[in-house]
Amino acid sequence: MTDYADIEGSIWLDGKMIPWRDAKVHFLTHGLQYAGTVFEGERAYGGRIFKLREHTDRLIEGARIMGYAIPFTAAQIDQACKDVLAANGLADGYLRPAAWRGSDKLGLSPAGASVHLAIAAWAWPSYFSPEQKMKGVRLTHSEWRRPAPDTAPVRAKASGLYQICTIAKQKAEEQGFDDALMLDYRGFLAEATGANLFLVIDGKLHTPIADCFLNGITRRTVIDLARAAGLEVVERHMDPSELALASEAFLTGTAAEITPIGEIGEHRYTPGAVCSLIIDAYHRVTHEG
C-alpha cells in the first residue's frame, strides 16, 4: 500500500516547489477540522494536462462557493500544475490541486483565515484495473443519497461532500463490489461515489441531470463526443426502475476515465458498441488533442 506522505518527488505549496515529504500542515488546519478543502483531480497524457483551465476555473469557483478566495490567478495555477508535472518527471500522471483555510483561525466562522494552495502529481493508472474494465465493474446500491442543493454546497468539489462517498465505497468493497450507485435526495438515479453515470437505452445515451451533484468535466466531454458521433444524448431525471431497460452502462470521471459497468445490483450489462465508441473517442481526444 502506498503511503502518499512518503514519496520521492516535489510538491508545489503556496508558490514554492518543495520536497514531497516537507509538504505538511498543522492538524488544527481549518480545512481538516471542518472539511472546507476544495480540490481537483486532473490527468496528464503525453505531457498535456487534459482540460486544465476547466479544472482550474472549477477550483477557483469551488473556493468562492465555500467563502474564500484562492490567492493565485488561474494562469498562475495552470503554470504551477505544469511545473509540478515537469518537476516530478511525468508525462502521464494524475494531479491533485487543493486549497484550504489555514490554522491561524479556528472555529466555524473562519473569516480572515489564511488560504493555502498545494499541487501534487504522481503516476497513477486507471482508477479501475484493465481486467475490471474488460468485464465491466460491479456496483451495489448505496443507502446514502446525494444531498439537496439547499442542504450542501453541491456545486463545489469540496472534501466534506465526499464523506458519504467514502463510507459507501468502503462498504461496497467490503461486500465484494467495486463501487456503489447513489440516488439523489428525491430518489432518482444520481452517480457512483466518484464518477457520473450513463445508460444506453434503445440506442440513446441517457444520463441523470446533474442538479445536485457535480456536472463532471469528463461527463461534459463524453456528452460532446457522443453527440459528435451521432448519438442522441438525453439528460433527465431517471427512476431506478429504468436500470432494467439499459443494454449498456458506464461511468465517467477524470480518475475513472470511461469505465464500463457489468452489474448494478440485480441488473447485468454487457459492454458493447456504445462503450467501445466512447472509450475510443475519449482516448483520441485525451491523447491526440
Catalytic center residues: 157
Q: What are phi and psi of 227, to 5 degrees?
A: -65, -40
The runs of H, that is alpha helices, within the chain are: 30-34, 52-65, 74-87, 130-135, 163-174, 217-228, 273-287
Residue 140 grid coordinates: 451495489
Distance CA 276, CA 253 (A): 16
Name which of 200, 199, 166 is nearest 180 in CA terms.
166
Residue linked to cell 493565485: 72
What are the CA-CA distances from residue 233 to residues 63, 98, 210 (Å)? 31, 32, 14
- What is the Cα 163 distance to its own chain's centre? 14
Please state, in angstroms and rounded to a whole number, the distance separating the CA atoms of residues 158 and 31: 10
CB neighbours (10 Å) of residue 284? Answer: 11
Rounded Cα distance, 75 and 72, in Å: 8
Q: How many of the other CB atoms lie within 10 Å of CB of 80?
A: 22
48: part of which helix (H) or strand (E)? strand 48-49
CA 278 to chain centre: 18
Dig out the grid coordinates for 44 from the structure.
496528464
Q: What's the gap between Cα 143 and its chain centre?
A: 21
